[in-house]
Each structure stands twice: as C-alpha cells, then as structure tokens.
Amino acid sequence: MKKADIVEFFARLAEANPHPETELESVNDYTLLVAVVLSAQATDAGVNKATRRLFAQVDTPEKMVALGEDGLKEHIKTIGLFNSKAKNVIALSEKLIAEHGSAVPADRDALEQLPGVGRKTANVVMNVAFGQETFAVDTHIFRVGNRTGLAPGKTPLAVEKKLEKAVPQPFRLHAHHWLILHGRYVCKARTPECWRCNVADLCAFKPKTPPHDAKRAKSGEAKKRNA
C-alpha cells in the first residue's frame, strides 16, 4: 500500500471512530493486565462477563494472591484455558508484589518477564495504560494487515514491524485499536463485509464481498441461531 493510501486509510478509520478504546473492561492498570492475559484465545465479551464481579472485589495484586488460584478459577471458569491462566495470574501478581512494588511496569522487557505475558499482551498494556505507540498484533490485525496489503507478513512479529514502519503520525497511538475493531466488525475472517467498508477502495483484497453475499451470510447465521 502506498504512503498516501495509508494516510487516507487511517484518516477514514479515525473519522469514523475518533476515540477508539479497548473493549476489555478494567478498573486500573493491574486489572487491565489481568484482563489482557485472560483474553488469550478468548473473546473480550467472554472475559468481561467473567471479570466484572472479580474486579469489583479484586483490584490489586495483594487481593488476587489472597483470593488464591482456586478462588480465581471459580470466577474465570467460563474462559478457555482457565486453569493455566489462573496459575499465571497468581504468579504474575506475586512477582509484581516482590519485584515492582505491586505496580505494573511500563517497560516491555519487564512486562514480558511476568508469567503469562507475551509480546502482544505487553504491547496492549504499554499502549492502553501508558500511552505508548505500540502495535499489538492479534488475529484481527494479522488478517487485516495481510488482506489489505497495509502490513503483509508471515508472522505477527513481521506484521508488527511493518506497522511500525508504515503507520504515520497522528495515527500511531490508536492504530492498533482501529485495526482490531475493523477486523472484528467489518473485515471479518470468513465473510469480510466489503460492501460496507469505508476503506475498500484502498484495499488490496480483490474478491470484494457484494451485498447479496452479505445478505446470504446473514441469512445463514439466522438459520443457525434458530436451529
């Protein structure tokens, strides 16, 4: 994608959604970190449903350690991989207390040293909690980056590096949120809704989805729900 097209691409996404935010619910930096760890291979909606009561009671590493692994499992048992995630959340909470004065570090290396925290999780926390210009490449951003031609790459890290080079100011801070939301609600995995995409003319994806295919897809989804 050409530089001028990239500027126009983000300008349109920004105009449609000037202040994008993460859809994960949290009450502070610590609960944000926990929510992102829990969101691996799970939907934001599913994580939010499980953590609303949890975060109303547990909003510090000390409270989480006091709750314990079994207590945490009771709150998050509807989330995929909840056993390993509960173990990681308790371990990272203990490490925050022991090594960081219970505060969430703003440093990537320090974040990635926490149990259950990889590069994507660290990028989300750095961006949302600390306002750093990072690009957290999840499945949505990986798909959008490759499908549109914005940041093609064979791995999430390759896509991230392409985004680092390609995304201009003033779009860098919110870029990954625009891309996530675009992938989640418009540029969907199975049936991208090209017919209502406001950047379709800038996109390298050739087999654009026409409205009649979109209607057929919706009809199919309705039949599944009613079955």
- Which residues are CB-neighbours of 125 under 8 A, at least 6 positions away? 29, 32, 33, 36, 104, 111, 117
Nearest alpha carbon to residue 141 among 108, 164, 107, 115: 164
Query: Does the annotation flag 150 for ligand binding?
Result: no
Query: Does the annotation flag 121 for ligand binding?
Result: no
Query: Does the annotation flag 194 for ligand binding?
Result: yes
Catalytic residue selected from 138, 201, 208, 213: 138
Residue 77 bears catalytic tag: no
Paired tokens of 88: 């990681």
Catalytic residue selected from 63, 77, 87, 120: 120
d(CA 89, CA 131) in angstroms, rounded, equals 23
d(CA 213, CA 217) in angstroms, rounded, equals 6
Residue 120 bears catalytic tag: yes
Query: Does the annotation flag 107 for ligand binding?
Result: no
d(CA 163, CA 151) in angstroms, rounded, equals 6
d(CA 124, CA 141) in angstroms, rounded, equals 13
> What amino acid positions are annotated as catalytic residues?
120, 138
Q: Give the residue numbers of the binding site for [4Fe-4S] cluster.
A: 187, 194, 197, 203
Q: Give the residue numbers of the binding site.
A: 187, 194, 197, 203
